[in-house]
Homo-oligomer: A and B are copies of this chain.
Amino acid sequence: MPVKGLKVEAASIDPGHDAVILNPRDAEHLGVVAGLRASVVCRGRGVGAVVIVDPRVPERVAQLTKGLVERLGDCDTVDVHPIDVPPSFDAFKKRLSGARLSAAEYKMLIADIVAGYYDDAQIASFLVSQLYSKLADEELEHLIRAMVETGEVVKFGEPVYDVHSIGGVPGNSKVALLVVPIVASRGLLIPKTSSRAITSPAGTADTMEVLAKVAFKPQELHDMALRARGLIVWGGALNLAPADDIFVRVERRIGVDPPTQMVASILAKKLAMSVSRLVIDLPTGRGAKVQDESEAELLASMFLAQAGRLNIAMRVAITFGGEPIGFSVGPALEAREALQTLMKGDGASSLVEKACSLAGLVFELGGVVPRGRGYSLACEILRSGAAYRKFREIIEVQEGDPDIKPEDIKLAPKQFTLEAPRDGIVTMIDNRAISLAARAAGAPEDKGAGIQLHVKTGYRVRKGDPLLTIYASSDTRLHEAVRLLDEYNAVLIEGVVVKVLP
């Protein structure tokens, strides 16, 4: 039975998820045992929350956790209803059985997930089902549209451009800091929203935050974008396709990231920003998210199939992702390298070529230049300083200091430089080892932590030459990072003479 008119209090505990804490008697009336979900209703709107029982809570009181209070808004009293199974549970079970769901079924399912009516076990089941029983193109479209419709949509009244990298390669977060100003300097509207790092040492939002604010409200973002033509902001606070945030949290727990859900999540976030011209970057190679070209092509075909359905003009670039991009890994180090490159109009070839290629594809999508001519235009914009001038505008509109210099950027105080153990050629820099070590050093939470590379694959080194420098805020973290680099043999150096036969 529902229990009605419970007085709202703020909960003291943080269980890590939305929860309503009730006196055992009220929980008994409700008929929901601790650990299961109930719907907490305020002014007709219900939000799912886990029931926790505590005899210290007075009867007729509902203690709500912080996140729940934020989601429900200002309520003096709430009603609590049992959720036996979510209304869309039949659709959920149908999906698990491998059958196709209709657009209406996806809409119900995603709305219930966003409302908090599904628990992590159920959400994990939905995700894992996609690993085995792939969503057909039509279903994937339904899922994407359902994810868009259950959140905010920001409209601009003109074509919106974007570049999105699926990530997974250390050092990649800074690429957008070049691409966005290059594109925006030609007047195309590119209000890029991005995530913070999930499993990597830096997300684009983390890196941009070294130079400017990244958290804005939808209306602010809209106005700022129209002023500067380009933005690099955090998408997390905007309630764009909020189901994605829930899926990402559970994906991290179960260590899987089904390709169909990846496509759905990326495109839903883009549609929520009204993006209609999109370049997708699939970094591919050893230790990247996508290991080889055939896998990348499969993923590309999934993106392109949806592009047609969703009216997005799209190009997909499969890029080299077999080693870190540029020489820096970690928010502050990457922000510094991006700023240096923009100011100088040139820099590491792996960074400059990638940024110009992606920006060039955007120009071609926008009809600024014919196909095949975008790259050189982008390089010219970077070289001429126009990109740097636009970047200053973007920093300014995002409330940062446009006069910031690379040497102003604060790095972590403790450093350790790894040296070449022998003469030879660098034959491999391991993405995973670099990511793990940079995270162990403290990135991305500690913005000054990370790894500065001094060599890349193909460099000739002599014994004792510096290979890379780790930045961390404590000796413990520094040592852990060194240990990981060592354990994983992060930088491989091989002799010029590989083998001599008798």
Using CB atoms and an 8 Å cutoff, list the residues of chain A in contact with chain B: 12-17, 19, 21, 24, 33-36, 50-56, 85, 89, 92-93, 96, 98, 119-125, 127-129, 131-133, 250, 253-256
Cβ A253 vs Cβ B119 within 8 A: yes
A-B contact pairs, 19 of them (CB 8 A): A12-B56, A13-B52, A14-B52, A15-B50, A15-B52, A16-B34, A16-B50, A16-B53, A92-B255, A119-B120, A121-B121, A121-B123, A122-B254, A124-B124, A124-B125, A124-B128, A125-B125, A125-B254, A128-B129
Instruction: Report the bound CA distance from A133 to B128 in whole Å.
Output: 11
Cα distance, A219 to B260, chains bound together (Å): 53
Chain B residues with CB under 8 A of A123: 121
Residues of B within 8 A of A51 (CB): 16
Which chain B positions have C-beta within 8 A of A125?
Answer: 124-125, 127-128, 254, 256
A52 surroundings in chain B (CB, below 8 A):
13-16
How many copies of this chain does the complex contain? 2
CB of A178, distance to nearest CB on chain B (Å): 33
Identify the closest chain B residue to A93 (Cβ): B255
Q: Is the CB of B13 within 8 A of A96?
A: no
Instruction: List, in ascending order, chain B residues with CB within 8 A of A121's CB.
Output: 120-121, 123-124, 250, 253-254
CB distance from A424 to the nearest CB of B (A): 32
Asked if B35 and A255 make an inter-chain contact with CB atoms under 8 angstroms apart, the answer reads no
Smallest CB separation, A440 vs chain B (Å)? 11
Q: Given that A14-B54, A128-B96 are contacting pairs, would A89 and B255 also be in contact in the complex, using a CB cutoff of 8 Å?
A: yes
Nearest CB of B to A3, in Å: 15
What's the nearest-Cβ distance from chain B to residue A61, in Å? 14
Interface-centre pick from A13, A17, A121 (highest chain B CB count, 10 A): A121
**Residues of chain B within 8 A of A15, CB atoms compared:** 15, 19, 34-35, 50, 52-53
Give bound CA distance, A255 to B129, whole Å: 14
Which 4 pairs across A and B sit closest by C-beta, in order of nearness? A16-B35, A132-B132, A16-B34, A121-B124
Q: A120-B119, A120-B120 are in contact. Are A93 and B256 (CB under 8 A)?
A: yes
Query: How far, in angstroms, from A36 to B98 measured CA to CA in the complex?
Result: 30
Q: A56 CA to B15 CA in the complex, in Å?
A: 14
Given contacts A13-B54, A14-B52, 20 further A-B contacts (CB under 8 A): A12-B54, A12-B55, A12-B56, A13-B52, A13-B53, A13-B56, A14-B24, A14-B54, A15-B50, A15-B53, A16-B50, A85-B255, A119-B120, A119-B253, A121-B254, A122-B253, A124-B125, A129-B131, A131-B132, A132-B132
Complex contacts, A253 vs chain B, CB 8 Å? 119, 121-122
In the bound assembly, the distance between CA atoms of A125 and B123 in angstroms comes to 9
Smallest beta-carbon distance A84→chain B, Å:
11
Contacts of A50 in B (CB 8 A): 15-16
B96, A256: Cβ atoms under 8 Å?
A: yes
Instruction: Give the nearest-CB partner of A127 in chain B.
Output: B125
Which residues of chain B have C-beta atoms less than 8 A from A35's C-beta? 15-17
A36 touches B16 (CB 8 A): yes
Residue in chain B with minimal CB distance to A98: B132
Q: Chain B: which residue is nearest A123 at the CB level?
A: B121
Shortest distance in angstroms between A295's beta carbon and chain B's nearest beta carbon? 13
Closest CB-CB distance, A179 to chain B, in whole Å? 33
Q: Which residue of B lies closest to A27 (CB)?
A: B14
Q: How far is the CB of A434 from chain B (nearest CB, A)?
A: 19
Please give, as numbers and ranges, the residues of chain B lying within 8 Å of A128 by CB-CB distance: 96, 124-125, 128-129
Q: How far is the CA of A24 from the CA of B13 in the complex (A)?
A: 10
A129 to B127: give the CA distance in the assembly, Å. Answer: 11
In the complex, what distance in Å separates the CA atom of A486 from the CA atom of B124? 36
Which of A21, A51, A122, A125 neighbours the largest number of chain B CB atoms within 10 Å of its CB?
A: A125
Q: Distance (Å) between the CB of A257 and the closest chain B CB? A: 11
Measured between alpha carbons, how far is A331 from B124 in the docked complex, in Å?
A: 35
Q: List the B residue with the shortest CB-CB distance to A131.
A: B96
Closest-CB distance, A26 to chain B (whole angstroms): 13
Residues of B within 8 A of A14 (CB): 24, 34, 52-54
Q: State whether B16 touches A21 (Cβ < 8 A).
A: no
Across-interface contacts of A56 in B (CB, < 8 A): 12-13
In the assembled complex, the Cα of A50 lies from the Cα of B436 at a distance in Å of 25
Q: In the bound complex, what is the Cα–Cα distance between A119 and B122 (angstroms)? A: 12
